[in-house]
Structure 1
Amino acid sequence: MVLISVYLFCLVLKLRYLRDEEKAPRYSLFCQGSASTAKEDALLYHGWSYMLLKSGELLDTVFFVLLEKNDHLSVLHFLHQTIALSAAWMAINDITGQVVMFAVLNTAVHSVMYTYYGLAALGPLLRPNLWWKKYVTHLQIVQFITLMVHSDIPLIYDCGCPRIMAGVVVLESAVFTVLF
């Protein structure tokens, strides 16, 4: 999961924000509308990869249920898995524009988070060296707040981004921040 998240993070960052300005315009970090062109095909393809990644993440919920690890399940966990997969599907239908930032931030945070979980799973000898657990939580909260603020922009200014997608991200981020 870490490698896939890092790969998608780098890819979307390159395709949208770090691209050669002469070949195609870069996305604006502030306010970006949809740009449905043939140049978006690569991003759409990787949007499907992102949704498959979210589907894979849903499997941990299935394993928790099958292994009867109910203490690992919470309203936040269930909502996150359900909403994340739904939001990924909706984004695929309009992956361009302002909502691309969601995938960029989400894959970056999940890369850090899964690295921590992977190292913690290696055993008790390594756990004392994982002093940065609280920073993973802080990083997640910063992600939620950043996405909430960033997705407010198309609700105020006409960026050409579907307002329903921006509203979904604002609502999702607010709910996760409150439940976290």
Structure 2
Amino acid sequence: MFQRGVTTWQKLQALYQGILENGDKRTDTWLLVHSPVPIACIFFGYLFVLWSGPKLMSRRSPVDLKPVLVVYNFAMVCLSAYMSYEFTASSWLAKYSLLCQPVDYSDSPLALRMARVYWWFFFSKVIELCDTMFFILRKKDNQLTFLHVYHHATMIFNCWIGIKYVAGGQNFFIGLINSMVHVVMYLYYGLAALGPGVSKYLWWKRYITFLQLFQFFLVTSHCTYNLFADCDYPDSINAMQVAYALSLTALFCNFYYHSYLSRKKTDKTS
């Protein structure tokens, strides 16, 4: 029995070493990349804040975060726009193929440029965990839905796998599409944070959800094609991205239905 326990431990050690050693050597020394431990700590810290935050705020007044939200959201617009440009420029200059693009693991300037912008894409998902913190501090607990928590908590792992193993190649497409969508999304949040005077111009909120659904359709189609194509890109990554995009599609469709279609039917009935 003891020997079996030792063997299991050795297997776990070998698995962990494999995770560390089989990654992209160029990004190994970059912040939060080498080991899954830091990002796992961030994940569990996030869950702890989700559990404890609403309890701590239950007897407190909501915090006025208007200046913080304005700065934060427009800063995220700038970061998303920067990443959109870098993904586009890096892929264009490197003559990327949209249908099949292996990862360039060399130290060429363009390959490193693509890897660097993907690291920023990964790190932006860590920054975006602040969205949840702001909901808690403002006592907007109704916004802490399963969709919100699932999306934020899993994206950090999804993007960590990207920067650890495939910092480039056709993975750029996901970063590009998502960054472009986030320019629009955080622009909306930034304008909404300015106050009621701007609210009448924000009739296009529902179309953000539609835009997000469209991005999942593009990502699913792109990765599915590559999954069955003869391309020097890991099938495991494509399969993971397809499964993940489908899960988000289902959750966002459910959100869209209950937020807009179901409510519209109720209003007509009333």
Match of 2:107 in 1: 38
Say if 2:104 is the partner of 1:26: no
CA distance, structure 2, for counterparts of residue 82 and residue 31 of structure 1:
29
Superposition pairs for residues 21-170 of structure 1, below 5 Å? 25-39=94-108, 40-93=111-164, 94-170=166-242
Conserved 8 A contact 1:99-1:151: no
Match of 2:25 in 1: none
CA distance, structure 2, for counterparts of residue 126 and residue 61 of structure 1:
23
1:65 CA displacement:
3.4
User: TM-score, with normalisation over the residues of structure 1?
Assistant: 0.91
CA radius of gyration, larger in = 2
Q: Which amino acid aligns with 2:86?
A: L
Q: Which amino acid aligns with 2:83?
A: L
Conserved 8 A contact 2:118-2:172: no
CA distance, structure 1, for counterparts of residue 201 and residue 136 of structure 2:
30
Q: Which amino acid aligns with 1:59?
A: C
Worse-matched range after superposition: 39-48 or 104-113: 39-48
Moved over 4 A (4+): none
Cα shift readout 1:101-151 (whole Å, capped 9, x = no counterpart): 000000000010000111111111211111211221111100011101111
Question: Which among 13, 33, 36 is matched to residue 88 of structure 2?
Answer: 13
Q: Which amino acid aligns with 2:87?
A: V
Q: Which has the higher contact order (CA 8 A, sep 6+)?
A: 1
Aligned length: 174
Residue segments in structure 2 that go unaligned for 5+ positions in a row: 1-75, 253-270
Q: Which amino acid aligns with 1:92?
A: I
CA distance, structure 1, for counterparts of residue 207 and residue 138 of structure 2:
29
Cα shift readout 1:40-67 (whole Å, capped 9, x = no counterpart): 1122122221122111101211333354
1:87 CA displacement:
1.2
* % same residue: 35
Conserved 8 A contact 1:31-1:98: yes
CA distance, structure 2, for counterparts of residue 179 and residue 10 of structure 1:
29
CA distance, structure 2, for counterparts of residue 4 and residue 62 of structure 1:
20
Cα shift readout 1:9-50 (whole Å, capped 9, x = no counterpart): 10111001x21xxxxx41111121222111211221222211
